[in-house]
């Protein structure tokens, strides 16, 4: 998985902080170099400058990336 972010066209799962709809970018491992496969990002999502709302009239949905390990 190269990237994930919540689609703000829907809501969070009731009683949970997980968006009902996720946008996921998958990349075949054989298309990456060894150096690229070890990278991890832990931090708040959506990422400014990378993620943009699907619905500009609605607030983005927060998603916390787990720490690698």
Considering the domain boundaries, does residue 16 fall inside one?
yes
Considering the domain boundaries, does residue 60 fall inside one?
no
Contacts of 57 (CB under 8 A, 6+ apart): none
The SS3 of residue 29 is helix
Task: Give the model's confidence band at 16: pLDDT under 50 very low, under 70 low, under 90 confident, else very high.
Answer: confident
Give the count of domains, the chain. Answer: 1
pTM, full prediction: 0.59
Considering the domain boundaries, does residue 69 fall inside one?
no
Q: What is d(CA 31, CA 33) in angstroms, rounded to the nearest whole number? A: 7
The parent domain of residue 40 ranges over 1-54
Considering the domain boundaries, does residue 42 fall inside one?
yes
Considering the domain boundaries, does residue 43 fall inside one?
yes
The SS3 of residue 67 is coil
Q: What is d(CA 22, CA 4) in angstroms, rounded to the nearest whole number? A: 7
Q: Which residue has the higher pLDDT, 25 or 31?
A: 25
25 close to 41: Cβ distance less than 8 angstroms: no
Q: Which residue has the higher pLDDT, 65 or 45?
A: 45
Considering the domain boundaries, does residue 49 fall inside one?
yes
């Amino acid at each position: 998985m190269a990237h994930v972010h919540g689609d703000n066209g829907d809501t969070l799962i009731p009683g949970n902080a997980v968006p009902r709809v996720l946008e996921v970018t998958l990349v075949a491992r054989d298309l990456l170099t060894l150096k690229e496969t070890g990278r991890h990002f832990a931090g708040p999502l959506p990422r400014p400058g990378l993620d943009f709302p699907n619905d500009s009239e609605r607030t983005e949905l927060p998603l916390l990336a787990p720490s690698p390990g």
